[in-house]
């Protein structure tokens, strides 16, 4: 019996360890039903460190994401809603897949290969975030991928002419919760006819764990230029240096430093920050594009992307009418978005990187949101 004791102790320790240490995996649950009766699911991905991200196959919404603070306390850092019914009521794009075209297209018009296209205009005479029924309002086919780095692959086929875009577009978006507390998003698309594509995710981050707004967040953007806009926030076509402007985040500075500088025309147009920054590194490799540090919690978010730009939006239009599942009002500047993407209105600006996708080619884009503490 004495010889068995160490073995029993070892076995018991292994059993206890298996209960105490989180396991990577995926949990699928019912999130609700669409008006036509189709079931919508919620997929909760968990890594071995205990980090979790919840995603619904309706619109590919990021519903929640937990990240530890400097004390090791995990809290949700994403603005989300509690039920499918809440999302169906309409919301300010709290974390969905945006497509076919993220951001804005002037007057909903563009010309491709000599053909004029007119899209639905859903904001002050412009086309924004895919139109009336964009990818954020579609039920995607979901495939959970279990493993040490759990993933969720979402697939949707956008038919030729949907929202007046040309071509049948086959889209895959894969969310992967990595071992190092990073959420990776990979986008892939093919088409049978020349079209324009600009996919992104519209996640709103609050690294304080919903305790304060983002005014004390310290932001750095690896971008030495930005795109000025007109009053409707359509790029003028200029690509201007950030040096000497409120748009200079080449070194870490708090959001509050210049966001209320109403002497700046661009700040007035956006009611704060709602502009596209142009990365200094224009390669398609996965590179560090932005960092956000929340000093009270100690959370640091790094954003890596293959994209040429990022739209920093400081939730200037949130008004408190939409609330968290815990009843916290989502008020102005309560969060920030870092939407990695090609430039707004690119189809109408030949000097911008092209967003045209042709048959035989594959649209590929990747973005990683990595969470640390300091």
In this prediction, residue 17 carries a pLDDT of: 38
In this prediction, residue 265 carries a pLDDT of: 98
Residues noted as catalytic:
202, 339
Q: Rounded mean pLDDT of 238-260?
A: 98
pLDDT digit string (tens) for 316-374? 999 999 999 999 999 999 999 999 999 999 999 999 999 999 999 999 999 999 999 99
Q: Is 90 exceeded by the pLDDT of residue 221?
A: yes
Q: Rounded mean pLDDT of 120-139?
A: 96
Taking CA atoms, 139 is separated from 89, 177, 337, in Å, by 16, 22, 23
In this prediction, residue 19 carries a pLDDT of: 45
Residue 38 pLDDT class (50, 70, 90 cuts): very high
Q: Rounded mean pLDDT of 125-130?
A: 96
In this prediction, residue 14 carries a pLDDT of: 40
Spatial CB neighbours of 77, under 8 Å, sequence gap ≥ 6? 65, 66, 67, 205, 206, 207, 209, 299, 301, 371
In this prediction, residue 328 carries a pLDDT of: 97
In this prediction, residue 16 carries a pLDDT of: 39
Average pLDDT taken over every residue of the chain: 95
DSSP secondary structure, 155-205, as one string: EEEE-TTGGG--S-EEEEEEEEE-TTSEEEEEEEEEESS-EE-B-EE---B
In this prediction, residue 30 carries a pLDDT of: 98
Give the side-chain half-sphere CA count within 13 A for 317: 9
pLDDT digit string (tens) for 294-307? 999 999 999 999 99
In this prediction, residue 124 carries a pLDDT of: 86
- Residue whose entry in the numeric block shows the structure tokens 């009002």: 329
């Amino acid at each position: 019996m004495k010889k068995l004791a160490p073995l029993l102790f070892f076995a018991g320790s292994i059993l206890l360890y298996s209960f105490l240490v989180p396991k990577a995996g995926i949990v699928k649950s019912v999130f609700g039903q669409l008006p036509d009766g189709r079931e919508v699911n919620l997929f909760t991905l968990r890594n071995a460190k205990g980090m979790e991200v919840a995603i619904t196959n309706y619109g590919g919404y990021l519903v929640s994401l937990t990240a530890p603070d400097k004390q090791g306390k995990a809290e949700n850092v994403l603005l989300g809603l509690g039920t499918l019914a809440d999302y169906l009521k309409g919301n300010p794009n709290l974390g969905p897949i945006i497509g076919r075209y993220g951001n804005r297209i002037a007057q909903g018009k563009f010309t491709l290969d000599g053909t004029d296209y007119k899209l639905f205009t859903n904001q002050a005479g412009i086309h924004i975030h895919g139109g009336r029924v964009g990818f954020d309002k579609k039920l995607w086919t979901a495939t959970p991928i279990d493993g040490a780095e759990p993933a969720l692959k979402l697939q949707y086929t956008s038919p030729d002419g949907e929202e007046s875009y040309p071509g049948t577009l086959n889209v895959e978006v894969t969310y992967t919760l990595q071992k190092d507390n990073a959420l990776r998003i990979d986008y892939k698309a093919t088409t049978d006819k020349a079209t324009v594509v600009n996919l992104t995710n519209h996640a709103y981050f609050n690294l304080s764990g919903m305790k304060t707004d983002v005014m004390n967040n310290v932001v750095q953007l690896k971008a030495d230029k930005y795109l000025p806009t007109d009053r409707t926030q359509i790029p003028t076509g200029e690509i201007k240096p950030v040096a000497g402007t409120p748009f200079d985040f080449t070194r870490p500075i708090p959001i509050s430093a210049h966001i209320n500088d109403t002497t700046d025309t661009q700040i007035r147009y956006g009611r704060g920050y709602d502009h596209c920054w142009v990365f200094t590194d224009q390669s398609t490799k996965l590179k560090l594009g932005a960092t956000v540090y929340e000093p009270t919690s100690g959370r640091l978010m790094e954003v890596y992307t293959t994209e040429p730009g990022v739209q920093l939006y400081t939730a200037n239009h949130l008004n408190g009418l939409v609330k968290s599942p815990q009843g916290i009002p989502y008020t102005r500047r309560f969060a920030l978005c870092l939407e990695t993407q090609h430039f707004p209105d690119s189809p109408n600006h030949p000097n911008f990187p092209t967003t045209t996708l042709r048959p035989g080619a594959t649209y590929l884009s990747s973005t990683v949101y990595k969470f640390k503490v300091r």
